[in-house]
Amino acid sequence: MLLPQLRSAVLDANLELVRRGLVLYTFGNASGIDRERGLVAIKPSGVPYDELRPEHMVITDLSGKIVEGTLRPSSDLPTHLVLYRAFPNVGGIAHTHSEHATAWAQARKAIPCLGTTHADYFHGPVPVTEPMTDAEIASAYEANTGEVIVRAVTPERAMAVPAVLVANHGPFAWGPDPAAAAHNAVILEAVARMAWITFGINSTAQQVQKALHDKHYLRKHGANAYYGQK
């Protein structure tokens, strides 16, 4: 069996989404990539989470050709592939319909950075994509979902803002590996929920000042990070 470690990591990322309450029934999917071999492992489509085993993960190449696996891959696979091709440092991707992030996506509003919880993970607002054109929806819909994400995030910003809201759909999050992708999806949901409540308390709440935003992001990321035990 190809890529047993990646299969396990992808399965674990999918299950983390369930454990954290981001998933209803079979919604949502996580994947991971082996950059050396150019192979992606992704959850199969529509299989109940409690039956998922590493061997159920579907292995494809970056064009979507199935290399190993008898189940259909998640129908969102083409979106994942566009992101892996456009964002070279991404090692894992998670897609959910988690309810607060999805509500922001349905509202077609970027989530502004209102506090340090957001700033610890996302260096700037979490953007929302443009709506897709009818033509983009009619043909290669899932791949075009990836394209509107790439336009909203840009490859330069992909590691500093590892999530996006697809307009009228829901969030995608990513990171250096599948566990980080799932972790960022969980944080995004918490940030989305707190932003909703914040505006409920103060409809003119302001983004954090740049100095505070940078401080928190750089406490956790980059050469001068000093959070945790590393």
In the complex with a second copy, the residue whose CB is nearer, 86 or 218, is 218
In a 3-state reduction of DSSP, which class is residue 170? strand
In the complex with a second copy, the residue whose CB is nearer, 2 or 71, is 71
Give the shortest CB-200-to-a second copy separation in angstroms.
6
How far, in Å, CA of 84 to CA of 104, rounded? 24
How far, in Å, CA of 160 to CA of 43, rounded? 26
Cβ neighbours for 219, distance < 8 A, ≥ 6 positions apart: 120, 225, 226, 227
Cβ neighbours for 180, distance < 8 A, ≥ 6 positions apart: 91, 92, 162, 174
- Is 120 a residue of the active site? yes
Residues that bind a second copy (CB under 8 A): 24-27, 44-47, 71-72, 75, 97, 99-100, 102-109, 114-117, 131-132, 134, 137-138, 141, 168-170, 183, 186-187, 190, 193-202, 205-206, 208-209, 211-212, 215, 219, 226-229
- Is 226 a residue of the active site? no
In a 3-state reduction of DSSP, which class is residue 35? coil
In the complex with a second copy, the residue whose CB is nearer, 9 or 132, is 132
In the complex with a second copy, the residue whose CB is nearer, 11 or 119, is 119
Give the shortest CB-6-to-a second copy separation in angstroms.
22
Q: Locate all alpha helices (DSSP H) within the chain, ordered by sequence.
A: 4-19, 77-86, 99-107, 116-119, 134-138, 141-153, 178-201, 210-220
Measured from the Cβ of residue 222, the count of other Cβ atoms closer than 10 Å reads 9
Give the shortest CB-155-to-a second copy separation in angstroms.
25
Catalytic position from the list 12, 49, 120, 141: 120
Give the shortest CB-28-to-a second copy separation in angstroms.
11
Catalytic residues: 120, 227
